[in-house]
Amino acid sequence: MSLTLATDPPFGNVARQMSKIMDQMHKGYYNFAPGETWTPSVNLYETEGAYLVCVDLAGVEKDKIDIVVEDHILRLKGQRPVPTSADESEPDPHRRVRVHLMEIDNGSFSREVELPLDVQQDKINARYRNGLLWIELPKK
């Protein structure tokens, strides 16, 4: 597959990247705020016949992802639990875990992507594989 970097993509949302960087700076290295809504990372691609949105949702159960398209805005919402190494089916009541660092976001997430005007909104297709949500947006 050949990739080309678009300098003026039809999605035009550079401010989101700056906001994410600023959020990470304000959050700090040791801060843990489970009540905050986090924003998953997104890659945007374009082929001759469609736009592709790839969303990094590792650890999120497929049925915990909501996708809504309205007024040329793709809205994603859902939940990701705190990752654990223990087998949750048989928790050990004597096992204590001390958190030293928690960088993997958890809890509620939300993300909006502005869509180009030439998207066929009634033909959008999504699939979830290996922690990545792929949304195909066919062009008119």
- Please spell the DSSP secondary structure of the chain, one letter per residue: ------SS-TT--HHHHHHHHHHHHHH-SS---TTS-B---EEEEE-SSEEEEEEE-TT--GGGEEEEEETTEEEEEEEEPPP-SS-TTS--TT-----S---S--EEEEEEEEPPTTB-GGG-EEEEETTEEEEEEEB-
Residue 125 has pLDDT above 90, yes or no: yes
pLDDT bucket at 46, cuts 50 / 70 / 90 = very high
Mean pLDDT value across residues 60-77: 94
Domain 14-81+105-138 in this protein, CATH class: mainly beta
pLDDT at res. 85: 75
Q: For residue 118, which of 16, 11, 42 has the smallest C-alpha distance?
A: 11
Residue 86 has pLDDT above 70, yes or no: no
Q: What proportion of the chain, given as a percentage, has pLDDT over 70? A: 69
* Residue position matching structure tokens 């050990």: 92
Mean pLDDT value across residues 130-139: 97
Bigger pLDDT: 23 vs 51: 51
Which range, 3-7, 73-77, 100-104, has the best average confidence (pLDDT)? 73-77
pLDDT tens column, 7-38: 555 555 566 666 666 666 655 544 455 567 89
pLDDT bucket at 140, cuts 50 / 70 / 90 = very high
Residue 78 has pLDDT above 80, yes or no: yes
Give the whole-angstrom CA distance, residue 16 versus residue 34.
Answer: 21
Residue 5 has pLDDT above 80, yes or no: no
